[in-house]
Structure 1
Amino acid sequence: MLVYRITKAVYADRLVASGGAARWNSRGQFVIYTAATRALACLENVVHRSGEGLLETFRVMVIEVPDKIRVDTISPEVLPANWFDFQQYMTCQQLGEEWLRSSRSAVLRVPSAIIANEWNYLLNPAHPDFSRIRLLRTEPFAFDPRLKS
């Protein structure tokens, strides 16, 4: 399976997690966020950057997750109806933290809060199977200047 991450070019040469807090992890927990498609990775950036800094130099990271690596899933059916609201971050973070602590898999499939029926994939760099996940290549990426917050 291929997954995608769009990031500033300076960070695109290796698979590294920042440890910053996000929907599925608290600060200090190292998770790499990726998306099922380039388009979803683009939308994630636009939403989280609020349209700021989109004219900088970006790259698409094309990441290969071998088919034999276990992928756990958090289904929307187990989440509260308003799970995508900012007020529900703690609920989502608790689920992501439980996945990290369990060390069941190197990959967690989570629903996109932006597009229903689309998926993001979280990578756990501390899991033993993470060493089998590879950055295949990076590709130039430019946000269309018509995209705004």
Structure 2
Amino acid sequence: MNVYRISQTKYAHDRKGSGIDGRWNSMGQYIIYTGGSLALSCLEKLAHTPGTSLYSGDFSVAIITIPDSLPVFEITTTRLAKLNANWYKVINYPITQLLGDTWLRKMETAVLKVPSAIIDMEYNYLLNQAHPDYEKIKISSVSKFTFDPRLKAR
């Protein structure tokens, strides 16, 4: 399976997470966020990056290959809705951060499949760089990526 990560070009070959808190991890917990499609990765980047930096930044997309033989743990929208119907709202980050941090701590899989908060019928794939299977996950290519100026960020 291929997943996609859009980042500043200087980080395109980086295989380490930043440790900055996000929807699925608290501060100091290292996760690499990827999208199940290039289009979803673009939408995620649009939603989480201020508009001016999208058009002034130097971006690339890394296509990352996850071997089909690797197990993937999934958090479903059904499970999330049982915890809180509004799980996707920023105010509810503590709910999803707890789930992501628990997954990291348990070290059961190198890959976590989660619904996108933007399009809940699509999925993001989070990568645990500390898991032994992470070495089997490879960057297959890196290409320049430019945001179309018709796309409007917040």
- TM-score in terms of structure 2 length: 0.94
Q: Which runs of 5+ in 2 are unaligned?
A: none
Alpha-carbon offset, residue 148 of structure 1: 1.6
5+ residue gaps, structure 1, are none
1:113 and 2:129 correspond: no
Task: Please give the alpha-carbon distance, in whole angstroms, between the structure 2 residues aligned to 1:132 and 1:15.
Answer: 12
Matching residue of 2:36: 36
Secondary structure class of the residue paired with 1:126 = coil
The equivalences for 1:50-89 within 5 A come to: 50-55=50-55, 56-79=57-80, 80-89=84-93
Q: Find the counterpart in structure 1 of residue 49 from structure 2.
A: 49
| Residues in 2 aligned to 1:30 and 1:141: alpha-carbon distance in whole angstroms | 24
3-state SS of paired residue (2:53): coil
d(CA) in 2 for partners of 1:47 and 1:74? 21
Any conservation in 2 of the 1:66–1:133 contact (CA below 8 Å)?
yes
Partner in structure 2 of residue 139 of structure 1: 143
Letter of the structure 1 residue corresponding to residue 126 of structure 2:
L
1:54 is paired with a residue of what secondary structure? helix
Is contact 1:51–1:147 with CA below 8 Å preserved after alignment?
no
Tell me how many residue pairs correspond in the alignment: 149
Where 1:52 maps in the other structure, the secondary structure is helix
TM-score (norm 1): 0.97
* Alignment partners' CA distance in 2, 1:49 and 1:83: 21
The 8 Å contact of residues 24 and 97 in structure 1, kept in 2 or not, is answered as: yes
Q: CA RMSD in A?
A: 0.8
In terms of fraction of residues, the more helix-rich structure is 2
The C-alpha deviation readout for 1:89-112, integer Å capped at 9, x for no partner, is: 000000001101110100000000
Say whether 1:2 aligns with 2:2: yes
Q: Distance in 2 between matches of 1:146 and 1:51?
A: 12
